[in-house]
Chain A
């Protein structure tokens, strides 16, 4: 089992609903976020192109954050989801420095926090909060090892890319282009 997410950049309008839904679902403290929106613009007026991406932890198959964690707080669970155990985390920040996607933040309570793919929801057969809420339905989630899953289907049909592939992290967050 390998959980993955695909973000359709053609449909995303950058509304940041994914960010608010994650904050309320997971009680992310004000001023922090586990997911965020990036706009990249190319060209000069009026020859312009824009790409809008909802980004979060890439739940890398080769996760630098897990390798560098001195206490084992950062770890991988079933389905390849990368999690942090707050009780084991000493807040050293090595994982924050190692993540090429800047996906982690230091929680005010003293541990490092990040996207969990809403593991508490997917256990109950629900999609992550960001996927459930997205008004444009631009987020696809599922088990990549299941060819019938939404995410496997859409990655089969569409062109896609990953971010910073040269980092060799083998990410599980894909961007449909």
Chain B
């Protein structure tokens, strides 16, 4: 019996080494086809897929060589997410399949001679072990004491399993660590969220306002494509960012704002637009409620007031407000996606939503379109049991407006000392590396040490797998069927993912894993189809298609039921808020005990000698999940710390030197990071790309390369409305190796 869980490097394998696979991509060059043919011949067998490298889920084609090896992935021209063009990560998705460091077989934690190691196991053995533990926890504490943390396409099947088991604790870190505040803010204002892909009509916009959103570096494919279209058509781009982002470089106006003061700018824009009669009066009168209260609220928030806070000159605030108004309603103040920054994020994005309402852009061409989604027939299964306890019961009274389970709150509740509403004793973690995903790593590890069961399902030996009792290796998206993609977009559509190759090693698709586990838990009736593809065949038949047709076309797009992409000029539109109006003043927030109108709050500033840690994305990587992909490490194999030349001079830093970082809580980075001296970052901040600095040796290309921002984010400002983890109030300083040693 293992009393205390230690981290195990996956390489510490008991019972003999794993079989060496045949991995490693080697293409047979066609020598016989003439001197001019330096590449392989086109028109090979292709199979449809939708991408799993990020959440955009672009649909495309996987091509194979005549020898049957996976060769390349390209976009499907019929797909609205990609328009036939994949981003670098999707194009490089082949690297996920060929990664020789992949998980290969189920592993079970055992103790040998006082040391914890993983032992190779059969699937049957591993699933038996999990089922026994789950039943045991359920008998002692109830089924709700097992939580699922999940990301990606496998979520659907594991969610079915957990609901059947009787747990309400099904959390996606994409909510409380990312887009949650945005969804709640737009729900409160318009009665509707902005979905994924976002319903931003960038293609036809005349003015795009990006607030800390670095489109082009976050390679949200369709949006980046549309931003390029908008540039072509001469749209005005306004970028608010302390860093000269790629988008800032494409902008007519770059507002190099002092970090953490965006709310002041938003309020000043509202003031300027309202008090200079620049708002869309007829739209506001017709569709909005609470305008007079808003007007009174922003009376004193002048551009001059905001200047003192944001360092953005009043003239620039006024000029950009006019640019937005001139473009109205074809203007987008972008809601962003990763918006968990300072703990008042729902309120900040509320200010974004209100600004869009004043400009009349919601539901208008060049603003936000009304999406349409294909409704797939639900699989017929017995009704799920109503859980005896809800996820809210875990943390009574907290986060009253959260509409999805809050991952960090479930983690907090897994520590008995935090007095949760009921105990959480087991985690199933699918496709999310919680060690890197959730800020305050020590807190997560403390929770893990208190668990009776931790199952990690992944394709790669990410850090979380080292803490698991059982590791289940999933095959990659290129080796499996998955649930159909039916995301909202301009037109309803479905997309198929099918395997381009058999699962490598001893890996399995998520449907198979979920179904086999359901059998062992006596819940097989929730997975009535033997295979994922049998379920797809049935669902596609209900949709007037077939598996055969979808294998041939990959994507099927349907016409909208009516011509309602936008709200027409004289339409009596009704919104899904309590009042049926767009709520500028939120009675809902007020009832929940929060500010009904957004208020500027000053946030902590870096102490002397420290710099605010800002993190973001690089276009060739998705979180930490791509950091070992050889196609993508070829483009970027470590992150760097961006430092303003003034700061570099003060510290005597040189370009390309390696330095450690230490944060305000005295946490020093595990590894050194390369210094990049650049004018593109403010003197009070430093910047790095998220997802590097892996401590897992088995991931050979990414181990020890760069620094993990997650490790340095120990000060978390939690959003009291919905539990989002504000991560941008951490400050770092530079430490040499000699200082680290002493």
Q: B64-108 vs A: 1/0 string, CB under 8 Å?
A: 000000011111000000001111100110100000000000000
CB within 8 Å of A: which B215-231 residues: 216-217, 219, 221, 224-225, 227-229, 231
Known contacts A44-B679, A137-B228: does B246 contact A14 (CB below 8 Å)? Answer: yes
Q: Report how far A21 CA is from B87 CA in the complex, Å.
A: 9
The yes or no answer to A134 lying at the interface (CB within 8 A) is yes
Please report the total number of B residues contacting A with Cβ < 8 Å.
57
Q: Which of B35, B91, B94 touches A17 (beta carbons < 8 Å)?
A: B91
User: Which B residues lie within 8 Å of A41 (CB)?
Assistant: 678-680
Q: B365-388 vs A: 1/0 string, CB under 8 Å?
A: 000000000000000000000000
Q: Report how far A38 CA is from B72 CA in the complex, Å.
A: 25
Q: Report how far A26 CA is from B84 CA in the complex, Å.
A: 19
Q: Which of B71, B85, B229, B644 touches A24 (beta carbons < 8 Å)?
A: B71
The yes or no answer to B619 lying at the interface (CB within 8 A) is yes
Would you give the shortest CB distance from B456 to chain A, in whole angstroms? 28
User: Which B residues lie within 8 Å of A19 (CB)?
Assistant: 88, 634-635
Question: Which among A23, A26, A43, A44 has the highest number of chain B CB atoms within 10 Å?
Answer: A23
Known contacts A20-B91, A45-B682: does B37 contact A138 (CB below 8 Å)? Answer: no
User: Which B residues lie within 8 Å of A24 (CB)?
Assistant: 71-73, 91-92, 94, 631
B244 touches A50 (CB 8 A): yes
B231 touches A11 (CB 8 A): yes
The yes or no answer to B607 lying at the interface (CB within 8 A) is no
Q: A29-54 vs B: 1/0 string, CB under 8 Å?
A: 01101000000010111101110100
The yes or no answer to A61 lying at the interface (CB within 8 A) is no
Q: Report how far A85 CA is from B36 CA in the complex, Å.
A: 7
The yes or no answer to A132 lying at the interface (CB within 8 A) is yes
User: Which A residues lie within 8 Å of B29 (CB)?
Assistant: 27
The yes or no answer to A149 lying at the interface (CB within 8 A) is no
A87 touches B72 (CB 8 A): no
Q: A61-87 vs B: 1/0 string, CB under 8 Å?
A: 000000000000000010000010111
User: Which B residues lie within 8 Å of A120 (CB)?
Assistant: 36-42
B183-191, B248-256, B410-418, B734-742 - the one binding chain A: B248-256
Known contacts A17-B87, A136-B225: does B35 contact A83 (CB below 8 Å)? Answer: yes
Would you give the shortest CB distance from B96 to chain A, in whole angstroms? 13
Q: Report how far A17 CA is from B86 CA in the complex, Å.
A: 8
The yes or no answer to A146 lying at the interface (CB within 8 A) is no
Q: Report how far A45 CA is from B244 CA in the complex, Å.
A: 8
Q: Which of B73, B232, B635 touches A11 (beta carbons < 8 Å)?
A: B232
The yes or no answer to B264 lying at the interface (CB within 8 A) is no
The yes or no answer to A121 lying at the interface (CB within 8 A) is yes
Would you give the shortest CB distance from A174 to chain B, in whole angstroms? 17
Q: Report how far A24 CA is from B92 CA in the complex, Å.
A: 8
B39 touches A116 (CB 8 A): yes
User: Which B residues lie within 8 Å of A20 (CB)?
Assistant: 88, 91-92, 620, 631-632, 634-635
Known contacts A17-B88, A20-B92, A83-B36: does B74 contact A137 (CB below 8 Å)? Answer: no
The yes or no answer to B27 lying at the interface (CB within 8 A) is yes
Would you give the shortest CB distance from B291 to chain A, in whole angstroms? 35
B27 touches A13 (CB 8 A): no
The yes or no answer to A2 lying at the interface (CB within 8 A) is no
The yes or no answer to B671 lying at the interface (CB within 8 A) is no
User: Which B residues lie within 8 Å of A136 (CB)?
Assistant: 224-225, 227-228
A52 touches B249 (CB 8 A): yes
User: Which A residues lie within 8 Å of B250 (CB)?
Assistant: 10-11, 13
Would you give the shortest CB distance from B385 to chain A, in whole angstroms? 45
The yes or no answer to A102 lying at the interface (CB within 8 A) is no
User: Which B residues lie within 8 Å of A16 (CB)?
Assistant: 88, 619-620, 635
User: Which A residues lie within 8 Å of B39 (CB)?
Assistant: 25-27, 116, 118, 120-121
Q: Report how far A20 CA is from B632 CA in the complex, Å.
A: 8
B217 touches A13 (CB 8 A): yes
Q: Which of A31, A85, A119, A135 touches B225 (beta carbons < 8 Å)?
A: A135
The yes or no answer to B628 lying at the interface (CB within 8 A) is no
B256 touches A15 (CB 8 A): no
User: Which A residues lie within 8 Å of B43 (CB)?
Assistant: 124
Would you give the shortest CB distance from B92 to chain A, in whole angstroms? 5
Known contacts A24-B631, A26-B39, A27-B40: does B619 contact A46 (CB below 8 Å)? Answer: no
Q: Which residue of B lies closest to A36 (CB)?
A: B635
The yes or no answer to A133 lying at the interface (CB within 8 A) is yes
Q: Report how far A30 CA is from B682 CA in the complex, Å.
A: 35
The yes or no answer to A177 lying at the interface (CB within 8 A) is no
Q: Which residue of B lies closest to A136 (CB)?
A: B228
A126 touches B42 (CB 8 A): yes
User: Which A residues lie within 8 Å of B42 (CB)?
Assistant: 120-121, 124, 126
Q: Which of B35, B217, B631, B682 touches A87 (beta carbons < 8 Å)?
A: B35
Q: Report how far A77 CA is from B37 CA in the complex, Å.
A: 12
Would you give the shortest CB distance from B619 to chain A, in whole angstroms? 4
Q: A113-155 vs B: 1/0 string, CB under 8 Å?
A: 1001011110010100000111111100000000000000000
Please report the total number of A residues contacting B with Cβ < 8 Å.
47
Q: Which residue of A lies closest to B254 (CB)?
A: A46
The yes or no answer to B610 lying at the interface (CB within 8 A) is no
Q: Report how far A14 CA is from B88 CA in the complex, Å.
A: 10
User: Which B residues lie within 8 Å of A48 (CB)?
Assistant: 244, 248-249, 254, 679-680
Q: Which residue of A lies closest to B247 (CB)?
A: A13
Q: Which residue of B lies closest to A10 (CB)?
A: B231
A43 touches B85 (CB 8 A): no
Known contacts A13-B217, A19-B88, A46-B254: does B38 contact A119 (CB below 8 Å)? Answer: yes
Q: Report how far A138 CA is from B225 CA in the complex, Å.
A: 10
Q: Report how far A47 CA is from B652 CA in the complex, Å.
A: 24
Q: Report how far A124 CA is from B33 CA in the complex, Å.
A: 15
The yes or no answer to B630 lying at the interface (CB within 8 A) is yes
Question: Which among B94, B216, B221 has the highest number of chain A CB atoms within 10 Å?
Answer: B216
A30 touches B249 (CB 8 A): no
The yes or no answer to B683 lying at the interface (CB within 8 A) is yes
Would you give the shortest CB distance from B70 to chain A, in whole angstroms? 10
Question: Which among B43, B73, B635 has the highest number of chain A CB atoms within 10 Å?
Answer: B635
User: Which B residues lie within 8 Å of A134 (CB)?
Assistant: 85
A21 touches B91 (CB 8 A): yes
Q: Which of A26, A27, A133 touches B85 (beta carbons < 8 Å)?
A: A133
Would you give the shortest CB distance from B589 to chain A, in whole angstroms? 35
Q: B616-648 vs A: 1/0 string, CB under 8 Å?
A: 000110000000001110110000000010000
User: Which A residues lie within 8 Å of B35 (CB)?
Assistant: 83, 85-87
Q: Which residue of B lies closest to A126 (CB)?
A: B42
B224 touches A13 (CB 8 A): yes
User: Which A residues lie within 8 Å of B74 (CB)?
Assistant: 21, 132-133
A135 touches B38 (CB 8 A): no
Q: Which residue of A lies closest to B43 (CB)?
A: A124
Would you give the shortest CB distance from A39 to chain B, in whole angstroms? 9
Would you give the shortest CB distance from A99 to chain B, in whole angstroms? 17
User: Which A residues lie within 8 Å of B94 (CB)?
Assistant: 24
A15 touches B75 (CB 8 A): no
B91 touches A133 (CB 8 A): yes
Q: Report how far A103 CA is from B180 CA in the complex, Å.
A: 46
B246 touches A30 (CB 8 A): no
Would you give the shortest CB distance from B268 to chain A, in whole angstroms? 19
B72 touches A46 (CB 8 A): no
Q: Report how far A71 CA is from B248 CA in the complex, Å.
A: 48
User: Which B residues lie within 8 Å of A52 (CB)?
Assistant: 246, 249
15 contacts between A and B (CB under 8 A): A13-B250, A14-B619, A15-B620, A17-B86, A17-B87, A17-B91, A17-B619, A20-B91, A24-B72, A26-B39, A30-B630, A48-B244, A50-B680, A133-B75, A137-B225
List the 3 closest A-B pairs by CB distance, nearest first.
Answer: A13-B216, A15-B619, A136-B228
Q: Given A11-B231, A24-B92, list of 13 further CB < 8 A pairs?
A: A11-B228, A13-B246, A14-B619, A15-B88, A20-B92, A26-B39, A27-B27, A27-B39, A30-B630, A48-B244, A48-B249, A49-B249, A120-B37
